[in-house]
Amino acid sequence: MTSWQLVRVIAGSFILVSLALGIPGSPIFVSPWWLAFTAFVGVNLLQSGVSRWCLMETILRRIGFKAGN
C-alpha cells in the first residue's frame, strides 16, 4: 500500500469514528464536539488537494511507506 492510499484510509477512518462519537443518535455518542474533528479532517483534505502537500503523507514516507505514482 502506498502512502497516498494509506492517507485516504486513515482520513476515512477518522471521519467515520468522529461521526460515530459526535452524533447523538449513535450508540457510542460522547460529545457533539467530535464533529469539530470531522471538520478538521475535511479541511486538511481540502488543503492537501489544493496545495499538493499533506503532513500525514510526509510522515508515512519517512517511516518507510513508498510514494504513489
Report the phi/psi class of residue 31: left, alpha or beta, with left for phi > 0 and alpha for psi in -120 to 50: beta
Could you tell me if 36 and 15 are in contact, meaning their C-beta atoms sit under 8 angstroms apart? no
| pLDDT (tens digit per residue) in 3-35 | 999 999 999 999 999 999 999 999 999 999 999
pTM, whole model, 2 decimals?
0.87
Q: How far is CA 62 from CA 4, 51, 57, in A?
A: 13, 20, 9
pLDDT at 68: 79
